[in-house]
Amino acid sequence: MTSYLFPSSSKQTFIVLVFLCFFPASVLGIVLKCWIFIYILLMLIGYLFSSKTNIKPLIVRPSSYALVTGASTGIGRSICHELAQKKFNLIIVARTMSKLKELADEIHLKYHNINVIIITRDLSVEDGADQLIEDIEYYYQQWPDMCIDILINNAGMGYINKFLSLSSYNIYKQMFYLHIQTPTKLIYYYLPKMIENNRGRIINVSSEISYMSSPRAIIYSSTKAYLTLFTTALNYEIQQEIIIKKTFIFY
pLDDT tens digits for 16-35?
Answer: 556 656 656 565 567 666 76
* Cβ neighbours for 105, distance < 8 A, ≥ 6 positions apart: none
CA angle 129, 132, 137 (to 5 degrees): 130
Same domain, 147 and 34: no
Please give the backbone phi and psi of residue 228, each rounded to the nearest 5 degrees, phi first: -65, -50
Average pLDDT over residues 101-114: 95
Domain membership of residue 3 (yes or no) is: no
If one compares 1 and 210, the residue with the highest pLDDT of the two is: 210
Q: Which CATH number does the domain housing residue 228 bear?
A: 3.40.50.720
pLDDT tens digits for 160-209?
Answer: 888 888 878 999 999 999 999 999 999 999 999 999 998 899 999 998 77
Please give the backbone phi and psi of residue 57, each rounded to the nearest 5 degrees, phi first: -60, 150
Helices (H), the chain: 11-20, 27-49, 74-85, 97-110, 128-142, 170-176, 182-197, 218-237
Domain membership of residue 42 (yes or no) is: yes
Average pLDDT over residues 96-120: 96
Closest CA to 76 of 98, 95, 94, 88: 94
Number of domains in the chain: 2
Q: What is the mean pLDDT of the chain?
A: 83
Give the range of the structural domain holding residue 123, as residue numbers without chain letter: 64-249
Does residue 139 contact residue 92 with C-beta atoms inside 8 Å?
no
Same domain, 15 and 72: no
Does residue 138 contact residue 146 with C-beta atoms inside 8 Å?
no
Same domain, 93 and 68: yes
Query: Tell me, what's the pLDDT at 11?
Result: 53
| Strand 147-153, strand 200-207: pairing | parallel
Same domain, 17 and 76: no
Domain membership of residue 101 (yes or no) is: yes
Alpha-carbon distance 149 to 65, whole Å? 6
Same domain, 13 and 102: no
Query: Tell me, what's the pLDDT at 212?
Result: 77
> Can you say how many angstroms the Cα of residue 5 is from the centroid of all Cα atoms in its chain?
16
Query: Tell me, what's the pLDDT at 211?
Result: 78
pLDDT tens digits for 48-99?
Answer: 455 454 567 888 999 999 999 999 999 999 999 999 999 999 999 999 999 9
pLDDT tens digits for 202-245?
Answer: 999 998 777 777 788 889 999 999 999 999 889 888 866 667 77
Domain membership of residue 57 (yes or no) is: no
Query: Tell me, what's the pLDDT at 31?
Result: 65
Same domain, 91 and 17: no
Domain membership of residue 59 (yes or no) is: no
Same domain, 223 and 180: yes
Residue 42 has pLDDT above 80, yes or no: no
Question: How close are the terminal C-alpha atoms of the chain, in Å?
Answer: 29
* Cβ neighbours for 240, distance < 8 A, ≥ 6 positions apart: 195, 198
Do you know the residue count of the chain? 251
If one compares 156 and 4, the residue with the highest pLDDT of the two is: 156
Same domain, 176 and 201: yes
Same domain, 123 and 214: yes
Domain membership of residue 2 (yes or no) is: no
Same domain, 154 and 232: yes
Domain membership of residue 21 (yes or no) is: yes
Same domain, 127 and 13: no
Residue 150 has pLDDT above 90, yes or no: yes
Same domain, 110 and 24: no
* Backbone CA torsion sign across 160, 163, 169, 175: positive
Does residue 187 contact residue 234 with C-beta atoms inside 8 Å?
yes
